[in-house]
Each structure stands twice: as structure tokens, then as C-alpha cells.
Structure 1
Amino acid sequence: MESRYIGYNFLISGDGKVYIGRGWRTVGAHTIGVNKKSIGIALIGTFYDKSPNSVQLNSMKNLINFGIAFDFIDKKFKYYSEINDVRPYINDQHNISNFSEMIQNAQ
């Protein structure tokens, strides 16, 4: 990533705090090819040995529901997940393969 700005629209920390990157109305710079028609939400953390915690997932669920309620996100949205790792020596194994189930089970 060559930009010095945050490419995601929102970031969510492990304690559930939502940080605004580009917000709802600005095109993100997170996923080539879909930035203009998507909202990028990043979960902050290392998910190779553990999954995102329930507080973090609940904040994301609330953020998505807010986006739907105020027409920033279509009710029939699709999610895509990816891993952005700044440490290239770590393999592709991560612990968020059951992401949709984790979101549905968030409190």
C-alpha cells in the first residue's frame, strides 16, 4: 500500500471501539476492483492463533446494521474477507474462515 492514508472506511479494535477511516461517503482504497461499491471494515488484531473476540464482532455487526438502517449498505450485501499481513514470513493460515458464522453468533 503506497498511500499514507487509511484505505478502510472503518477499523474496529479489540475492545470494540470503531475508528473512522474514510467514513461512509468516501470511496475506500482497500480492495482493488470493488472500492467504489463497497465499505471496507478492518478488524485490528492478529488472527493466526485466535479469532476476533465477541466484543469486536458485535461492534462490526452494529456498524453493519447502522449502515443498513441509514442506506449506506444494501440489505442484501455480500461480505468478502481478506488477510492483510505486514509480516510476509507468516503463512496463509488464519483463524477467520468461519467469519459469517462468527458474525451471526455475535451478541
Structure 2
Amino acid sequence: MVRWDVLAAITGMALVTYACRAGGYAVLRAVRPPPWVEMVLRHLPGCLFAAYVAPPLLALGWPGWMGAAVVVGVQVATRNMGAAIIAGIAATWGLRVLAG
């Protein structure tokens, strides 16, 4: 059975997310941002990545850090992001199993 309130909430969230993304593209196409805004937008993805990665690494402790090192090593060696992620997950899982 479909819950219309849940469907409406999901649809509303999807529309708001799309409006935010499309609105940003539309504004940046119509208006040239000042240089400091361009600089912030250029560096923002790295900041977001660090914000997403740091808490799990701190929570996982040394197995997480070793898994992150494996990801970096495999990525540098193979230039294959999928292989790097799988290797890092496997390393973290294996180290956590060994650590008990």
C-alpha cells in the first residue's frame, strides 16, 4: 500500500534538491561571480571530501587509517578508483577482524 504522505515528502525533497542544483547552474550561467567566489568553488570539493572522510577515519581508528593508506597506494599504482576502494574496504575489514 502506498503511503501518500511519505510519497509527497520524498517528491518534495527531490524537487527541492533539483531546484537547488538547477538554480545554482542557472545563476552561475547568468551572472559571473566575483573572483573570491570562483576560488571558493574551485576548492570546495576537497573540503567536502575531507569533511566526509575525517569522521569515519577517526571512528575506525588505526584499521581505518591503514585502509585509507591502501586506497591511496592502489589508486596511485593502478589509477583504478574501483579497485582502490575495494582494496581499502578489504584491508579495513581484514584488519578489524584481526584486531578482534
TM-score, length of structure 1 as denominator length: 0.23
Q: Tell me which protein shows more strand as a share of its residues.
A: 1
TM-score, length of structure 2 as denominator length: 0.24
Indicate the structure (1 or 2) with the bigger Cα radius of gyration: 2
Instruction: Pick 1 or 2: higher relative contact order, CA cutoff 8 A, min separation 6.
Output: 1
Q: Tell me which protein shows more helix as a share of its residues.
A: 2
